[in-house]
Structure 1
Amino acid sequence: MTMFPSREHLAAYQAILDGWGIYPALLVDRYLNVVAWNDSGNRVFGDFFICSERERNAVWSTFMDPSQRERLVHWEQAARRSIALLRARSDRYANETWFGELITDLYQASPEFRTWWPEHNILFTCHDQNEINHPLIGSLAFQGTTLVMPERPDLQIMVHTPLSKFDTTTKLRAFMNEKSIVEITG
């Protein structure tokens, strides 16, 4: 069972996420569930509004959403990193059955997860560069940074700063501006 932030806290976190503008930003809980996002994060990583809670889990999505295999240029690296994050979290919250259920489900559903989970890699934070093949705007490159919320260490903000490679900033500005124009005229 996911422990969501209170409405008051969620509004404050949402303001922080929205403040990142064109930089995709996500609020992730202890289970690696995306619980809030800014517009850019939603448009770059997929439509979170139509996803179930399970589908908003970063590890589940990486392994079980076919569009993520196409979107993540270095899918295997991202998948292995997500396993290492999951292992760190499941070790930290060892008494929570939620993790065991997710691991069992992934073990049954994904041959890659079955192969890589026994390697026992652990990762505590995410500060790497990643490339995305976006279906509408093409190749994008980001520097991922994880920010821990001091008042809620079980929540983290993941900000994806555009890199100059592939002219990511220009593409994001045009993409986000395109939506604004449609909203104003539509």
Structure 2
Amino acid sequence: MGRTADQRRELGAFLRSRRERLSPAEAGLPNTSRRRTPGLRREELAVLAGISATWYTYLEQGRDVRASGQVLTALAAALGLDRPEEDHLFLLAGHATTRVPEAEAVTAEVAAVPHLLGPHPTYVIGATYDVLSHNAAAAELFVNLKADKPNFARWTFTDPLAREVVLDWEQEARGLLARLRTLAGRHPADERFTRLVAELHEASPEVRSWWPHHEVQDQGSGRKRLRHPDLGPLDYAYTAFHLAGQPDRTLVIYADARPC
């Protein structure tokens, strides 16, 4: 079955956003004339990718054309996409299964893991950032995890306390939104993502502003500055693990990053 008009427009918007962020110098081209719009011209990108400029224009305009894997690889290389962005491009172009994932849940054995790792704040989240299990240390650090059906995306963008707890709120919130877009792209048939994204758009001006940038990002490990309710601002190192056989279920562990 072919892709819908909305899917084709999403692909075109993603390509356009990446083309406009790439300067001629970054692409190895001379910047010889004044430009009315940022980034590369469509014709320049088509030459770099070795495809027809007219055909590329159709693709970016969301017309009913289908790009092969070879063409997508060439476009990804010409645009300098990183791995998450290239994966996202392939998914938008229909080169992936549209299987609806199983219901968000974890077994009792998995749900017990965060409790075994106290006093480190630990939780398990699902694809749409529902918190499926967490320990007392996580509930203490991330206020309101005790709420009914907690969700980190909703908490980040709709709970004022999130901006007090997450000290670099804008940076972390943008990263979360980019990861949510990546996950949504992997599950285009899953209405949970559609509902969540619509809810966040309605509730958050930041989501409405950032979503059109088409940022994508994979879940990983790193550091965050968080405000502990008793200890104040702290640096935390966090590590994320995907569950075996359930790549959309993620175990996240935080540890105080201060020197011992």
User: Taking structure 2 as the reference length, what is the TM-score of the superposition?
Assistant: 0.58
Distance 1:57 1:128 in 2: 21
Q: What runs of 5+ residues in structure 1 fail to find an aligned partner?
A: 168-186
- 1:151 CA drift (Å): 2.8
Deviations 1:62-105 (A, max 9, x none): 01000001111000011101101110110011111111111111
What's the counterpart of residue 31 of structure 1? Answer: 128
Distance 2:235 2:102 in 1: 31
Deviations 1:99-119 (A, max 9, x none): 111111111211111111111
Q: Is the 8 A contact 1:2 1:31 kept in 2?
A: no
Q: What runs of 5+ residues in structure 2 fail to find an aligned partner?
A: 1-100
What's the counterpart of residue 184 of structure 2? Answer: 90
What's the counterpart of residue 79 of structure 1? Answer: 173
What's the counterpart of residue 17 of structure 1? Answer: 114
SS where residue 153 of structure 2 aligns?
helix
Q: Is the 8 A contact 1:34 1:57 kept in 2?
A: yes
Alignment of 1:63-142 (within 5 A): 63-142=157-236
- 1:2 CA drift (Å): 8.2
Distance 1:125 1:23 in 2: 19
What's the counterpart of residue 62 of structure 1? Answer: 156
- CA 1:33 to 1:2, structure 2 compared with 1: closer, same or farther past 3 Å? farther
- 1:147 CA drift (Å): 0.3
Moved more, 86-95 or 147-156: 147-156
Are residue 52 (structure 1) and residue 148 (structure 2) matched?
Answer: yes
Q: Is the 8 A contact 1:34 1:58 kept in 2?
A: yes
- 1:145 CA drift (Å): 1.1
SS where residue 48 of structure 1 aligns?
coil
Q: Is the 8 A contact 2:123 2:134 kept in 1?
A: yes
Distance 1:43 1:2 in 2: 30
Larger Rg: 2
Distance 1:88 1:13 in 2: 24
- Give the AA of the match of 2:103: M
What's the counterpart of residue 254 of structure 2? Answer: 160
- 1:137 CA drift (Å): 2.3
- 1:4 CA drift (Å): 3.6
Distance 2:113 2:196 in 1: 29
Deviations 1:128-173 (A, max 9, x none): 21011123321121112110101322211011122016x8xxxxxx
- 1:59 CA drift (Å): 1.2
- Give the AA of the match of 1:27: V
Moved over 4 A (4+): none
Are residue 5 (structure 1) and residue 105 (structure 2) matched?
Answer: yes
Task: Name the structure, 1 or 2, with higher relative contact order (CA <8 Å, separation 6+).
Answer: 1
Answer 1 or 2: which has greater strand percent: 1
- Give the AA of the match of 1:74: D
- CA 1:2 to 1:103, structure 2 compared with 1: closer, same or farther past 3 Å? farther
What's the counterpart of residue 175 of structure 1? Answer: none
What's the counterpart of residue 150 of structure 1? Answer: 244
Distance 2:227 2:217 in 1: 24
